[in-house]
Chains A and B, each alone.
Chain A
């Protein structure tokens, strides 16, 4: 059993959560986005999006600005400098994981050896 497959890089847990990852992915594709667009594109509820944005702001990954436009609050969100580097690191980590998984798959296919216990997906319940 090889040791290198066990030494996989771990993705940042804060970013890896699907809702937060979706928000950060959107923000990494633009300079800033408002609350309405984020809600539409991520298909999150208002409450869930607010909570996730607060978590990301507390972690220093996003910057939230609020302004009053036509007597309504307009919330604009952008990635902070730390957020930019963290999301880049996250995708780099995921690429490394994918590369290692592909390598492992390639190693298993020629000999048709039994899969390692850790790699067998659990049956859906």
Chain B
């Protein structure tokens, strides 16, 4: 479909730039509502927070422990009912409904799969000779990581830091649209904050006596999920404002 009409009759430069920005917002919000993850994630985070924090505060004995388990069980039931029914209904009532698109497998998925295959091939055929040199290094590294994550004596919880690290780096792409750039900065904030909590605990052993540090350290994953879920939800509220003049009836 080519014509020989002069340029100025065909398009307006600024309109194209403006349209591109707006369409990034449209695509992002549509995908966000299609995933329906905001409130679900926040609820899961609350549940995890509740399950981890009482133990960290040494409240895990006697009637308190039974109550914590009971509340956890009720919370789990609420989480499943809410995830299946209440939250989708709320989203539909408030923002309308979107059926998420099936993501077609991209060339990057194919490349990743190919890389795994090549790695397996390398491990099977030439792994044995280099195993002699690599084994002590890898086992020392794994052991150290394992100790840092789950050593009850040190009580440093690195899972939140790993979670933010994974989220931040998985969101990185060659071109990040402006609306998603805000999310990257938000993830960067978490990526800085949670390792700082862990590092503070490593550098100051006395921190383990402070209840605030204990709560942030033990409930880090739950807290992270609550923060992320609420962030996504706020983005939806801000980008899909309700129009006061008209109802949502069709």
Interface residues of A (CB under 8 A from B): 5-12, 18, 21-22, 25-26, 28-43, 45-46, 72-76, 89, 93-94, 97-98, 101, 118-122
Interface residues of B in 9-23 (CB under 8 A from A): 10-14, 16, 19, 22-23
17 A-B residue pairs with Cβ-Cβ distance under 8 Å, sorted by A, are A8-B7, A8-B10, A9-B3, A29-B101, A30-B99, A30-B101, A33-B30, A34-B97, A36-B250, A37-B30, A37-B95, A37-B97, A37-B98, A40-B241, A43-B243, A120-B8, A121-B12
**Please, which residue of chain B has its CB at the minimum distance from the CB of A33?**
B98
Q: Are B7 and A35 in contact (CB under 8 A)?
A: no
Majority DSSP secondary structure for residues of B touching A? mixed
Q: Are A37 and B33 in contact (CB under 8 A)?
A: yes
Q: Contacts A10-B2, A10-B10 hold; do A39 and B26 have CB atoms under 8 A apart? A: no
Interface residues of B (CB under 8 A from A): 1-8, 10-14, 16, 19, 22-23, 26-27, 29-31, 33-34, 92, 95-102, 239-243, 246, 248-250
Q: Are A22 and B248 in contact (CB under 8 A)?
A: no
Q: Contacts A30-B99, A33-B96 hold; do A46 and B250 have CB atoms under 8 A apart? A: yes
Q: Are A40 and B96 in contact (CB under 8 A)?
A: yes
What CA separation (Å) do A10 and B5 show in the bound complex? Answer: 8
Q: Are A31 and B26 in contact (CB under 8 A)?
A: no
Q: Contacts A7-B2, A11-B11, A22-B26 hold; do A73 and B99 have CB atoms under 8 A apart? A: no
